[in-house]
Amino acid sequence: MPIVDRVIALVEEKIADREDLFLVGVKMHSSGKLEVLIDGDNGVSIQDCAGISRYVGFRLEEEEAIDHAYRLEVSSPGIDTPITSIRQYRKNIGRNVQVTLQDGLVKEGKLLEAAEEHITIEETVKEKGKKAMKQQNNIPFEHIITTKVLISFR
């Protein structure tokens, strides 16, 4: 079993009793860093990350699953990490997002909805010589390359 698959199974085993937590991704970097990203409907605590790290690390050592030096890192996705699941989209409803589309267009607006097939954002559209207007757009998931949450420092 590839190590990423084993880590996914271990994380899901550890959080099985926590409906508020979910796995975002696992990646083994060539540098030896084993990265586990966890998210939660109400955020993720340091205690959550530490508990998952201890559980996964202990099991991997016990099973001797990795035969080279590695560094296990369990964290929540950073602000620069794209949204990858519908659950993350739903968690971020009401926040401003930047959506990069397959045709190269970039749209920014408030995330209003995350349905099964698309997201809905409210953009501010300004036509020359006219007042800015709010416009809702549905964007099918298959047209999206990346979506990132925008942070305002105002």
Q: Given a cut of 80, is residue 1 above it in pLDDT?
A: no
Per-residue confidence (pLDDT) for residue 141, from 0 to 100? 96
List C-alpha distances in Å: 144 to 32, 35, 99, 129: 31, 24, 7, 31
Structural domain total, the chain: 2
pLDDT score recorded for residue 127: 81
State what percent of residues in the chain have pLDDT above 70: 99
The predicted-structure confidence for 16-51, as pLDDT tens digits, reads as follows: 999 999 999 999 999 999 999 999 988 899 999 999
Question: Pairing between strand 33-40 and 21-28?
Answer: antiparallel
CATH number at residue 145: 2.30.30.100
Q: Is the pLDDT of residue 79 over 90?
A: no
Shared-domain flag, residues 13 and 71: yes
- In this predicted structure, the answer to whether residue 132 has a pLDDT above a threshold of 90 is no
Do 96 and 137 lie in one domain? The reply is: yes
Q: Give the dihedral sign, CA 128/134/138/143.
A: positive
**DSSP string computed for 19-51:** TTEEEEEEEE-TTSEEEEEEEEBTB--HHHHHH
**Residue where one domain finishes, among candidates 22, 44, 75:** 75
Separation between Cα atoms, residue 31 and residue 33, nearest integer Å: 6
Beta strands in the chain (DSSP E): 21-28, 33-40, 71-75, 96-101, 106-114, 118-125, 133-140, 144-149
Lowest-pLDDT choice from 25-29, 119-123, 124-128: 124-128
Region 85-108: mean pLDDT is: 94
Provide the pLDDT confidence category of residue 15 given band limits of 50, 70 and 90: very high
Q: What CATH number corresponds to the domain at position 43?
A: 3.30.300.70
CA pair distance 150, 95, nearest whole angstrom: 8
The values of phi and psi at residue 97, to 5°, are: -130, 160
The pLDDT of residue 92 is: 93
Instruction: Work out the average pLDDT over 4-22.
Output: 95
Domain that holds residue 119: 86-149
